[in-house]
């Protein structure tokens, strides 16, 4: 017998605070209202990383500013109104300080990666476990014991950082292909198109891998499984719920885009009025508008995680309600 989620009989003893056909997007915002601590924790770990990265960049700039000596000609060129002179001066400075720049960049990337892994492991680990525990309690289902699994979370976050190499590989691969099939300097447009196509493919691969790795912590917390098993579970989860998850991502991204557009228009008005406003007011307004977008974006990202967790718990409700018919459950989950 085939049945839809709306006609699934409910197992005695289970509490369903929402229907199985309820709007999943609402669940993401419902969990934010019912667990007020989630948003401050999300802001804390994201902004801690952001402020730490800004501090690293400031220290790197101070170090480079002391290490790179500007000649009188460079200072004149950089302060001139001639874009060509500025570009030539900057390119000469970069060429002369390239080894130092590469070394500093490598240090910044390494420290930033380590800081992000630590912040995301602690922040998102707490958030993921809190959301799943709340949904499981509301639904009357059992999840894995609430034990620290920081190592598993850290491994998955490390994998997300390493997957950024996919994008680098896409650029380098496109450049290599262009160099092999096109003579240097012969067809710049064709070379650019090859590099662009390679980057597009790399971005598609990276987006899927990053999606899988971002979902895997849900199954570490829900099922108490190892990181590799969580990746496999996340892939299967996406296959079963592809249309639902895409719809959630689409609407969440659309709302974030609308918020970004509104705030960008406000920022454009602020810049347009900078001649009639005191400089400190213009700066304050731009800072407030930037912070407003960051907060709104974090709210939507956190709500999206709540939606994914809601879908994962609903699957658990079905699997525990019908343990004797896993094949039928898989059909319904699709």
pLDDT digits (tens, 9 = 90+) for 275-325: 888 888 888 999 999 999 989 999 999 999 999 999 999 888 887 666 554
Provide the pLDDT for residue 177.
74
Provide the pLDDT for residue 106.
85
Lowest mean per-residue pLDDT among 38-47, 107-116, 181-190, 259-268? 181-190
Domain assignments of the chain as residue spans, ordered by start? 5-151+207-333
Could you tell me the two tokens for 283? 């700066």
Q: Identify the CA nearest to 127 among candidates 309, 317, 315, 312.
A: 309
Q: Using alpha carbons only, what angle is made at residue 13 by residues 139 and 245, rounded to the nearest 5 degrees?
A: 25
Q: What percent of the chain has pLDDT over 90?
A: 32
Provide the pLDDT for residue 278.
86
Could you tell me the two tokens for 246? 């895409």
Cα gap 154→227, rounded to integer Å: 9
Contacts made by residues 213-220, CB under 8 angstroms, sequence distance 24+: 213/156, 213/159, 213/160, 213/163, 214/160, 215/308, 216/156, 217/124, 217/125, 217/128, 217/152, 217/153, 217/156, 218/128, 218/132, 218/308, 218/309, 218/312, 219/312, 220/149, 220/152, 220/153, 220/156
Confidence of residue 8 (pLDDT cuts 50, 70, 90): very low
Q: Residue 115, CB half-sphere, CA atoms under 13 Å: how many?
A: 18
Provide the pLDDT for residue 114.
93
Confidence of residue 6 (pLDDT cuts 50, 70, 90): very low
For 57: left if phi > 0, alpha if psi spans -120 to 50, otherwise beta; the answer is: alpha
Cα gap 303→28, rounded to integer Å: 4
Listed ranges 26-35, 91-100, 231-240; the one with the highest mean pLDDT: 231-240
Q: Using alpha carbons only, what angle is made at residue 310 by residues 305 and 313, rounded to the nearest 5 degrees?
A: 125
Average pLDDT, the chain: 80
Give how far Cα 270 sits from Cα of 258, 262, 278, 279, 292, Å: 18, 13, 11, 11, 14
Provide the pLDDT for residue 242.
87
Three-class secondary structure of residue 197 per DSSP = helix
pLDDT digits (tens, 9 = 90+) for 236-267: 999 998 888 888 888 888 988 999 899 999 98
Provide the pLDDT for residue 26.
80
Provide the pLDDT for residue 49.
93
Provide the pLDDT for residue 128.
93
Confidence of residue 17 (pLDDT cuts 50, 70, 90): very low
Average pLDDT over residues 135-142: 86
Better-predicted residue by pLDDT, 9 or 259? 259
Listed ranges 141-155, 163-177, 318-332; the one with the highest mean pLDDT: 141-155
Burial of 4 (0-12, 13-18, 19+ CB in 10 A): exposed
pTM: 0.78
Provide the pLDDT for residue 91.
73
Better-predicted residue by pLDDT, 87 or 202? 202
């Amino acid at each position: 017998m085939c049945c839809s989620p709306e006609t699934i009989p409910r197992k005695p003893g289970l509490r369903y605070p929402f229907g199985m056909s309820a709007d999943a997007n609402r669940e993401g915002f419902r969990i934010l209202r019912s667990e007020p601590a989630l948003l401050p924790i999300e802001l804390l770990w994201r902004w801690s990383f952001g402020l730490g990265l800004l501090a690293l960049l400031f220290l790197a700039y101070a170090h480079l500013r002391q290490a790179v000596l500007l000649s009188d000609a460079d200072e004149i060129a950089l302060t001139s109104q001639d874009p060509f002179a500025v570009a030539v001066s900057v390119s000469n400075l970069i060429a002369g300080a390239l080894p130092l720049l590469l070394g500093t960049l490598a240090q910044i990337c390494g420290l930033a990666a380590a800081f992000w892994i630590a912040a995301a492991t602690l922040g998102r680990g707490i958030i993921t476990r809190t959301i799943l525990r709340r949904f499981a309690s509301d639904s009357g289902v059992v999840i894995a014991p609430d034990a620290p699994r920081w190592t598993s979370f850290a491994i998955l976050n490390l994998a997300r950082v390493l997957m950024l190499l996919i994008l680098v590989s896409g650029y380098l691969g496109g450049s290599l292909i262009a160099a092999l099939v096109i003579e240097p300097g012969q067809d710049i447009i064709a070379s650019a198109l090859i590099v662009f196509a390679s980057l597009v493919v790399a971005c598609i691969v990276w987006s899927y891998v990053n999606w899988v790795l971002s979902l895997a912590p849900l199954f570490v917390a829900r099922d108490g499984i190892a990181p590799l098993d969580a990746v496999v579970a996340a892939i299967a989860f996406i296959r079963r719920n592809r249309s639902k998850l895409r719809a959630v991502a689409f609407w969440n991204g659309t709302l974030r885009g609308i918020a970004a557009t509104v705030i960008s228009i406000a920022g454009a008005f602020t810049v347009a009025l900078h001649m009639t406003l005191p400089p400190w007011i213009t700066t304050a307004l731009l800072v407030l508008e930037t912070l407003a977008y960051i907060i709104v974006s974090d709210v939507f990202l956190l709500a999206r995680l709540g939606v994914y967790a809601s879908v994962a718990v609903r699957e658990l409700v079905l699997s525990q309600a019908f343990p004797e018919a896993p094949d039928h459950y898989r059909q319904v989950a699709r």
